[in-house]
Structure 1
Amino acid sequence: MGVLLSIEGAIGQGILWGIMALGVYITFRILDFADLTVDGSFATGGAVSAVLIMNGVDPWITLPAAIVAGCLCGACTGLLHTMCKIPPILAGILTQIGLYSINLMIMDKSNLPLLKVDTMFSRLADAIDLPRSISRWLTTNNLVCLLIGILFAVVVIGFAYWFFGTETGATIRATGNNANMVRANGVSTNRTNILALILSNAFIALSGALVAQQQGYADVKMGIGAIVIA
């Protein structure tokens, strides 16, 4: 029974972290850009969501704010690469290091617990009353994690599928395949690089916000090793 419950919890958390993996996929596989901003922008999404929740903002509304913060992180890396001509890996590392201090400023501490406030997960858990026969095999917390994870994963995958079928999305894919060909057709690869980094880190920050709400705290080091996990 303990093993079964552990597997259910792992699947639920895996789906939430999987959203981050989709963001990493955009830069590493589609754009062919080794972006190491991930470790910083993941924690930024969690920090922004946690701080807003602690200040009385609805947990659902904190997600768009986390996404915007992730977009800014990606834009910073993109500008360092395109305007300052810094190699992709170093540009990501610079942003990642800078975000460590920024995340400390956002939370005003290294760890911000969410145990005494409502999150999306706690609200849904309070609303669900599983029958005793089901609760033996599936805990409420695991079920809530699965439901919310699947919901956001479907939305993110659907958006990504639609976006990369558009002209702009196709341009990003073409940039990853052959940047010289894209430039020869009069398209700015600087713009496509920045746009892809913005979209990637938006997904990553969203994942960070969801993970922070699910685990009940945001930590300045919660993003360390995120790129390896992705």
Structure 2
Amino acid sequence: MGKFNIKEVEEAVGVTFNEKNLLKAALTHSSYANQHKDQEYNERLEFLGDAVLQLCITEYLFLNYKEKSEGELTKIRSLIVCENSLYEIGKKLDLGYFIRISRGEELTGGRERASITADAVEALIAAIYLDKGIEYTKDYIIGHFKEIIEKAIKNDIVLDYKTKLQEELQKSGEVSIVYELLKYEGPPHRRKFYTSVIIENKELGRGEGYSKKEAEQNAAKEALRNLEERNE
């Protein structure tokens, strides 16, 4: 993207900041800071944001689901507070477009990388917390995570299809699972990847996405669906 437009970013994330530099730091990747002197980047904010997110989700689950045991709540929280759900939130906010990253990182697909987007969401949460306080941040988090929370409560969410596929296939012993990149296409800033998942030398599913990780997750998701159909 071009010049970092604070107003445009504030509109996208739905928050008007008193301290604009907090927002700028939250959406600055270390690769960008390495090339520009005196630029704050988001790793320290990410550290704080992770703790704030954990606290807000934990408190919400604790207060609203009194019938759930500690073990159940821990499992539900792990589905909500994870890279995949943070990435989904980041995509909805279009953070990948706004993050300041180095040219080299951008050319290798950094804008679509799940980990970079997820980290930026945590940093954004920290920036909101420092600028607005805990109550505002809590409302912001629950508002954006409501759908993910509801799916996690119903156990209607499997955010990590690769792990789920591995668990299903290895119930009766070790199985060879290989993810193969078939091709990629499009410009560097919007590259699309196509992947297949090979089980014991047989293709079981294919997936596509704007990062290798997303494509592999979608291939695993299709493989799980094919397994279910086979077992019906």
Common topology (TM > 0.5): no
Structure with the largest fraction of strand? 2
TM-score, normalising length: structure 1: 0.28
**Bigger Rg, structure 1 or 2:** 2
Structure with the largest fraction of helix? 1
TM-score, normalising length: structure 2: 0.28
